[in-house]
Structure 1
Amino acid sequence: MGNLIIRNAHIKDGEAQKDIKIIDGKIVEIAARIQNDNNLEEIDAKGNAVLPTLIESHIHPDKAFLEDRKPNLSGTLEEALKNTAELKKLYTYDDVKKRAEKVLRWSVLNGTTIMRAHPDVDPFEKTLGVEVLLDLKEKYKEVLDMQIVAFPQEGIIQSPGVLEMMEESIKMGADVVGGCPYSERTMEDTIKQLNIVFDLAEKYNLPIDMHADFGTNADDPQNTCIELICDMTIERGYQGRVAIGHVTTLGSLDPEVAAPIFDKIAKADVSIVPLPVTDMFMTGRTERKNIPRGMAPVLSMMERGVNLAYSSNNIRNAFTPFGNADLIAVGYLLQVSQQMGSADQRRAVLDMVTYNAAKAIGVRDTYGIEVGKNADIVIYDCDDLSNLINDQPLVRYVIKNGKIIVQNELSRKMASVLMGD
C-alpha cells in the first residue's frame, strides 16, 4: 500500500483543482492545498484530468488473439461460435495464459485496474480458462483486481456436464455465475438455463452476469429474455446483483414498447453492459440497407434510470477482430454510435466506464475519488473531462492502492520541440 500526495488534480469540470492525500493505499484527504508534513512522495497532475481507474466489466481474455488462427469470414455469430469451438479443442495452459496475460498487461497500461473476466466453461475448454485466470489473478494482484465469471458459452442444457464444470469453477474460486440463455436450442431450455443460473447463484451467494438478447430480431423469444430475467431477479430478491451484456435486441423495439421494459430493468436494478465493438461488428448482418447500429439504446435507457456500463468484450478474435483493451477508445465508438454529443452526455460515457461499472460489478463501496476509497487513480494528459474521450489522451500515471504502477511522460527534449522552445 502506498503513501502519496497528488497535486493540482482536475477532478470535476467547473471546479478548482484539488490535492489528494493517500495513506496506506486509501484516499484520506481531498482539499485545495494539503500540507506535506510527513515528507510523502508527490506528483504534480498539472491540472490534468483525474479519474478512478477504469473498469473492464465484461471481457474474455481466454479467447483473445485468435483471429489470425481462424478468421470469421462471414462476421456472423454462428461462424464465430463454430471457429472458436474448433480452436478451443486445441487449447493448452501455456497458450491460454500467454494470450490472456497480454490482455491483462494492455489493460493496466491503458488505465484499467479492475476487471470482470468471462472465461468459457464448456465441453471444449472445460475449466481451463478459469484455471489460467485464477493463476493470473494471483500473479497480477498488486496491479489488477479481477473477478472471474463461470461462463457457459455453449449452453447448459444442450451441453451435459457444463453445470458440474460451473460448480467446480466456483469451488476453485470463480466469483460470479454466468449465463448465456440464447445458446440453448429451445425457449423451454432457455428458461431452464435461467432457473439453473439463479439456483446456482443462490446456492453460493454469488452475483450473476449473463450474455443475453444478442441480436436485432425482436420477434425471437430467445433473444428477448430481458423481461423474464428482470422478473426472476425481483422474485429471487437479486436486485442489484445481476448484470447483462449485449441486450442489443432492445434497439429494435419501438420506443413506446421499449419504455416500460426499461422501467422494469430499472426496478429490478439490473445493470446493462453494451459492448460497442462486438455489438456493432456482428449485428445487422442480414440487413441490406440502413444497417442498424446493433446496440442497446443507451440514451433512452439512461433517461429511464437504468445503470449502464460498457466494456471491450473481446480482443482480436472471431467475435471482434479489433481492440487493444483501451476503454477510452471503446468509449469514443459508443458516444458516436449513440449520438451522445453534448458535454454532459460525453461525461456520462466516462461514468459508464467508472462509477456505473463499479455498481455493475459490485465494487462501489471501495471505488471512487472520495475520502475513504481505494487510491486507484489514473491521470490523463488533458484538462477537460467532457473532452477526455474525444482527446484520446496519453495516460500519464496509473496508481493502484496508492502506488504508481504506470508512468508515461513526454521527455524534456520532446516537450521543448513541441512547445517551440
Structure 2
Amino acid sequence: MDFDLILRDARIAGSADRTADIGISKGRIAAVAPELPKGAPEKCLDGRLVVPGFIETHIHLDKSCLLGRCQCEKGTLDEAVVAVAAAKRGFSHDDVYERASRTLEKAIKNGTTRMRTHVEVDPRVGLTSVHALLRLKKDYAWAIDLQLCVFPQEGLLDDPGCEDVMVAALEAGGNVVGGAPYMDKNSHGQIARIFALAQRFGIDIDFHLDFGLDTTHLDALEVCRLADETGWGGRVTIGHVTKFSAMPSADLDVLAKRLADSGVAVTTLPSTDLFLIGRDYDGNVPRGVTPVHRLVERGVNCSISTNNVLNPFTPFGDCSLVRMANLYANVVQIGGRPADMELCLSLVTDRPARLMNLRDYGIAAGNPADIVVMDCADGASAIAELAQPLMVFRRGEMTVSRPAATLMRPGAGQADSAAA
C-alpha cells in the first residue's frame, strides 16, 4: 500500500499502552499497524500520544472578544445578556468575522478540528453574524469543520419576529437549532417551538437549559418528554444545566436515568458557570458545574466545552479544551485514578463526536486523517499535566506545528528536550 505520510511510534488514545504506526493516504487514514513498511515520508512521534482532534461542542464565536465594549460590574447572567444585547446593535459582518477568526485560530492552534458554534439571531442583529460565520466556515475549512447552531439568546416567544429570523438563518445554512428557554416566560412553549423547527429542517437540537441553582423546576424533563414523543432521542443536547450541580445524589441518579432513556446528551461549561453562578452567595459559594462524569457512569453521553471567550459571560479563555477538561477535573474533584483523567479526555474527543453524530471520527482506517500529536505519552497525562499539541493534521496536511520546550543547560553544549 502506498502512503503519503507515516506517523511512526504513536500512542493512540484509548490504547496508549502500546505504540503503532499510522499510514495516511489522500487525506485519510489508510492503515494503523505496529510496523508499517518503509517507502513514504515519515515523522517519528517517539511514543507520544495521538488523538483524533479535539471537538468543541458549545462555543460562541460571534460574541467573543467583546471585553473592551462592555462595562460590567456585577458579573451576573442578566447583566451579561443586557451588555451583549447592546453591543450586538453595533455588530457588522466584518466585525463579527474578525473577532470570530481570532477565537477560531486559538482553537485550531490548541488542536480543535471540529466545532459547533452557537450564533445569536433576532430581529435586531438579523443574519449579520450568521453570514459572517458561514464565510468563516468556508475560509477555515482547511483546518476545521464548523457547525452553526442558531438560537435566540434574548427569547423566542417574547421577541416578536424572532422565529422568522431563525427560519431564515436555517435556510441560509444553519446546521443545528438551539434555544434558551429560561429567557421566555413560557419556557415549555419555546422548547416546543425549537423541536418543531428541528423536525421541519431535519436537524439536531442544542439547548441552553436550566441555568441557576433552584432545582424545583427543571426544563430538562420537558426536553426528555418531547425527545421521546418526537423520536429525536440521540439528536438533542442540553448545555449548562447548572441546576444539576445542586441536586442530591439520589435525585441526580433518577434524572440521569431519564436522560439516558431519552437519548438526551449533556454539555458542561466549567469556566462560564464558575464565573456566573452563585453571585448572590456570601461565603461557601456553590461551584455550579454539572458533574457530567457521574451522568456518564449512568449511561448519559456528555461533553466538556468552552462556551464564551473574553466577553461579559466569561472574561477568560485560550480555547484549549485540554485546559477546560483539567479545570473540570479540579472543580468536581476527580482524578485520583488514571481512568478518571482518561474519562475527561474522552469528554473533549470521542464523546462529543457521538454527541454531534459524527460518523467518521477516530484513529481508524477509512476516517479522515484529522490527528493531534500531544506532548505526553497517555491520556491521563494530557489532562493532568496540561500537555500541549505539538502537531495538528487536517485531512493529512499539517495545519499547526509547535516545537517542544527545551532546557538550555549552562555549559552543556546541547539542549535537553522537555518533551515526554
Give the TM-score normalised by the residue count of structure 2.
0.94
- What's the counterpart of residue 28 of structure 2? 26
Q: Aligned in 2, Cα 1:14/1:135: closer, same or farther, shift over 3 Å?
A: closer
Q: How does 1:83-122 map to 2 (within 5 A)?
A: 83-122=83-122
One-letter amino acid of the counterpart of residue 341, structure 2: R
Deviation track 1:211-265 (CA, whole Å, cap 9, x = no partner) reads: 001111113x3xx101110111011000100111101101111122221111010
Aligned 8 A contact 1:298 1:338 in 2: no
CA deviation after TM superposition for structure 1 residue 96, in Å? 0.9
Query: Which ranges in structure 1 are unaligned for 5 or more consecutive residues?
Result: none
- What's the counterpart of residue 252 of structure 1? 246
Match of 2:311 among 312, 317, 330: 317
Deviation track 1:51-95 (CA, whole Å, cap 9, x = no partner) reads: 010011000011001112213211100100010011111111111
Asked whether 1:196 is paired with 2:197, we answer no
The 3-state SS of whatever aligns with 1:56 is strand
Aligned 8 A contact 1:61 1:100 in 2: yes
Match of 2:213 among 209, 213, 216: 216
Aligned 8 A contact 1:13 1:385 in 2: no
- What's the counterpart of residue 404 of structure 1? 398
Q: Aligned in 2, Cα 1:228/1:46: closer, same or farther, shift over 3 Å?
A: same
Q: Distance in 2 between matches of 1:149 and 1:343?
A: 34
- What's the counterpart of residue 78 of structure 2? 78
CA deviation after TM superposition for structure 1 residue 135, in Å? 0.4
Q: Distance in 2 between matches of 1:270 and 1:370?
A: 27
Q: Distance in 2 between matches of 1:418 and 1:5?
A: 26
- What's the counterpart of residue 161 of structure 2? 161
- What's the counterpart of residue 289 of structure 2? 295
Q: Distance in 2 between matches of 1:249 and 1:34?
A: 51
Q: Aligned in 2, Cα 1:322/1:33: closer, same or farther, shift over 3 Å?
A: same
CA deviation after TM superposition for structure 1 residue 405, in Å? 0.9
Aligned 8 A contact 1:50 1:377 in 2: yes
The 3-state SS of whatever aligns with 1:7 is strand
Q: Distance in 1 between matches of 2:77 and 2:229?
A: 32
Asked whether 1:358 is paired with 2:346, we answer no
Q: Distance in 2 between matches of 1:389 and 1:253?
A: 27
CA deviation after TM superposition for structure 1 residue 413, in Å? 9.3
- What's the counterpart of residue 51 of structure 2? 51
One-letter amino acid of the counterpart of residue 55, structure 2: I
The 3-state SS of whatever aligns with 1:315 is coil
Q: Distance in 2 between matches of 1:310 and 1:97?
A: 25
One-letter amino acid of the counterpart of residue 10, structure 1: R
Asked whether 1:394 is paired with 2:388, we answer yes
Q: Distance in 2 between matches of 1:304 and 1:72?
A: 39
Aligned 8 A contact 2:150 2:176 in 1: yes
- What's the counterpart of residue 333 of structure 1? 327
Asked whether 1:131 is paired with 2:131, we answer yes
Deviation track 1:18-59 (CA, whole Å, cap 9, x = no partner) reads: 0011111111211110013xx422111110011010011000
One-letter amino acid of the counterpart of residue 373, structure 1: N
One-letter amino acid of the counterpart of residue 201, structure 2: Y
Aligned 8 A contact 1:71 1:317 in 2: no
Q: Aligned in 2, Cα 1:258/1:412: closer, same or farther, shift over 3 Å?
A: closer
Instruction: Calculate the aligned-residue CA RMSD, in Å.
Output: 1.7
Q: Distance in 1 between matches of 2:114 and 2:23?
A: 21
Q: Distance in 2 between matches of 1:13 and 1:361?
A: 23
CA deviation after TM superposition for structure 1 residue 201, in Å? 0.6
The 3-state SS of whatever aligns with 1:211 is strand
Aligned 8 A contact 2:306 2:321 in 1: yes
- What's the counterpart of residue 42 of structure 1? 42
- What's the counterpart of residue 6 of structure 1? 7
The 3-state SS of whatever aligns with 2:48 is coil
201-210 vs 252-261, greater mean Cα deviation = 252-261
Q: Distance in 1 between matches of 2:176 and 2:21?
A: 37
